[in-house]
């Protein structure tokens, strides 16, 4: 083993995070190389030991011809000479057998002492020889040793030092198989230590990292009773105040991840330190969970949520007559009446200002602007942009381009939002994850009024009828957003536009102006396309 690079975080993922360590297959691997960098040196020997449940179930060893002379100091260190590797296979010839021994990333965890060094060489060799290196989960015994052993116990965490401390049956000799065998004993010694920390599964091993804060370690029990279902989770403080709101298809898996090494955000670490308990709201569908999340964030404005806290402050453009006839940037849709000329929402003040400039620069009388037909204004601005570009006035051309983009985006968003909020009711269906199951959503005036999952053996029509009867009653107040926020409406539109979604029934007219934006026309007048 040649000392290498700095420690790196855990790599790879596990499909089953609760797998017991005693039931997991580990392949402990060690390399000898002709130098310290994959870019400048090659592999001279590979040794690997496959273990499960504390028992060795296979070994792999081969010398490798690195295709270059082995430096004298490497020969002194490892005992591997040029004569020993001259008839050895190349790394390209060795890779198929090595990959077969390693097995599938779904079953195998790679272990190495100073893993970034060994994995760096293997990944580099795979790339150079047109092999795809599987995304194995990786355990670094050097890093783990630093976490479970004190300076009073060992002066350092070199493999030789740890082999003596853990009374390894094989002493490391800077030969690959010997060092791999020694690392096996070190790994088992470390696992014994980890048991005292309550680490018995792969998930717990993954979370045992220097990046884990004391609060994460101390409060991971908060995730123990979380249900495995779609829904919303709420981290709450000592006064029951919401600190953070999120959503997931699997609440238990998601909440548990906050207490593992996968969570690296400093503000979330701070939030966990303040957390007293975690509440959950189980939802029938993931769409319902996502909408509930938006509503809760908007209502409670949890400090540690960055997005969606101030949905009511979105910016729109509105035509006013006073103090002069022109468009103004307004905050929130409540100041806009349906009969007025408006567009938006916009991503920010700069985009709203660009869209407003586009209108004012094109129209002498801005009251003649119609969001339903952008052909004249976009054509005029495009000609202006091209003219500026031909004159090599590129900054001015970019400004005009931004005006076109801002205007068409804002108008398009407004058209799509209002098209849905005009509908008294639309029922849509999407195939669910369970075989033969469907996810249904009832949307009324742009608000999710209810959702349901059809179950095998139950008539789908019965599910639809029950959904319609139990969904929330929504009143149209005549505004552009009668019953929800623009974010909720756009969330619903994204769902409707997703693959596999079918319209079950619709009341009212769903339409977009043909020339109002870059979006294609969608017209569905008094549709009643029953699910089949």
CA distances (Å), 381 to each of 235, 354, 375, 385, in order? Answer: 49, 12, 10, 6
User: Helix 375-390 and helix 349-362: axis angle, to 10°?
Assistant: 90
At 481, give phi and psi (nearest 5°).
-130, 85
Q: Are 30 and 180 in contact (CB under 8 A)?
A: yes
Burial of 375 (0-12, 13-18, 19+ CB in 10 A): exposed
Q: Distance (Å, rounded) from C-alpha 247 to C-alpha 291? A: 9
CA distances (Å), 294 to each of 91, 277, 425, 448, in order? Answer: 53, 21, 21, 12
How many C-alpha atoms does 80 have within 13 Å on its Cβ side?
A: 29
Q: Distance (Å, rounded) from C-alpha 59 to C-alpha 454? A: 51
Q: Are 282 and 227 in contact (CB under 8 A)?
A: yes
E strands, 117-241, where? 138-140, 231-236
Lookup: tokens for 136 = 């194995």
Residue of 174, 362, 415, 486 marked active site: 174
- Nearest CA among 194, 230, 13, 41 for reference residue 106: 13
Q: Distance (Å, rounded) from C-alpha 174 to C-alpha 70? A: 15
In which element (H, E) is residue 442 found?
strand 438-444
Q: Distance (Å, rounded) from C-alpha 306 to C-alpha 127? A: 39
433 an active-site residue?
no
For 88-141, the three-class secondary structure string (H helix, E strand, C coil) is CCCHHHHHHHHHHHHCCCCCEEEEECCHHHHHHHHHHHHHHCCCCCCCCCEEEH
Q: Name every residue whose Cβ is closer than 8 Å to that of residue 43 and which is 6 or more positions away in sequence.
A: 31, 32, 33, 34, 64, 66, 91, 121, 122, 125
Catalytic residues: 174
């Amino acid at each position: 083993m040649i000392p290498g690079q700095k420690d790196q975080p855990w790599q790879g993922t596990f499909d089953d995070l609760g797998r017991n360590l005693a039931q997991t297959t580990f392949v402990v691997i060690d390399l000898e190389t002709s130098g310290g960098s994959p870019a400048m040196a090659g592999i001279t020997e590979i040794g690997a030991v496959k273990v499960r449940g504390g028992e060795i179930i296979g070994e792999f060893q081969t010398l490798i011809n690195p295709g270059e002379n082995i430096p004298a100091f490497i020969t002194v260190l490892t005992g591997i000479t040029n004569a020993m590797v001259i008839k050895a296979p190349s790394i390209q010839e060795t890779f198929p057998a090595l990959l077969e021994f390693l097995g599938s990333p779904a079953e195998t965890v790679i272990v190495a002492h100073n893993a970034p060094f060994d994995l760096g060489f293997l990944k580099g060799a795979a790339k150079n020889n047109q092999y795809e290196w599987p995304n194995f989960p990786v355990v670094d015994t050097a890093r783990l040793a630093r976490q479970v052993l004190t300076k009073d116990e060992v002066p350092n965490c070199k493999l030789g030092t740890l082999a003596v401390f853990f009374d390894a049956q094989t002493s490391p000799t800077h030969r690959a198989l010997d060092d791999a065998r020694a690392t096996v004993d070190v790994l088992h010694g470390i696992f014994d230590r980890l048991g005292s920390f309550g680490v018995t599964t792969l998930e717990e091993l993954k979370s045992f990292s220097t990046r884990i804060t004391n609060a994460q370690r101390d409060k991971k029990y908060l995730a123990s009773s979380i249900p495995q279902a779609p829904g919303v989770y709420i981290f709450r403080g000592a006064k029951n105040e919401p600190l953070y709101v999120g959503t997931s298809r699997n609440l238990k898996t998601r909440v548990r991840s906050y207490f593992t090494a996968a969570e690296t955000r400093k503000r979330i670490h701070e939030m966990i330190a303040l957390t007293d308990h975690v509440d959950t709201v189980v939802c029938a569908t993931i769409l319902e969970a996502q909408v509930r999340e938006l509503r809760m964030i908007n209502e409670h404005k949890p400090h540690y949520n960055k997005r969606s806290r101030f949905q009511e402050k979105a910016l729109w453009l509105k035509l006013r007559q006073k103090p002069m006839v022109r468009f103004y940037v307004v905050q929130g849709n409540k100041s806009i009446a349906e009969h007025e000329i408006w567009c938006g929402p916009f991503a920010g003040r700069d985009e709203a200002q660009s869209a407003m400039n586009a209108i004012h620069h094109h129209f002498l009388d801005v009251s003649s602007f119609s969001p339903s037909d952008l052909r004249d204004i976009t054509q005029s601005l495009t000609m202006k942009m091209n003219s500026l570009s031909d004159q090599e006035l590129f900054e001015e051309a970019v400004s005009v381009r931004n005006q076109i983009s801002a205007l068409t985006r804002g108008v398009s968003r407004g058209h799509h939002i209002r098209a849905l909020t005009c509908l008294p009711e639309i029922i849509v269906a999407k195939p669910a994850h369970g075989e033969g199951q469907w996810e249904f959503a009832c949307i009324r005036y742009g608000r999710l009024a209810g959702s349901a999952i059809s179950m095998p053996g139950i008539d789908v029509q019965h599910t639809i009828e029950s959904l319609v009867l139990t969904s929330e009653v929504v009143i149209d107040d005549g505004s552009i957003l009668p019953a929800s926020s623009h974010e909720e409406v756009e969330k619903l539109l994204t769902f409707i536009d997703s693959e596999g979604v079918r319209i079950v029934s619709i009341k009212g007219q769903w339409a977009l102006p043909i020339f109002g934006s870059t979006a294609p026309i969608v017209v569905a007048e008094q549709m009643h396309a029953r699910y089949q």
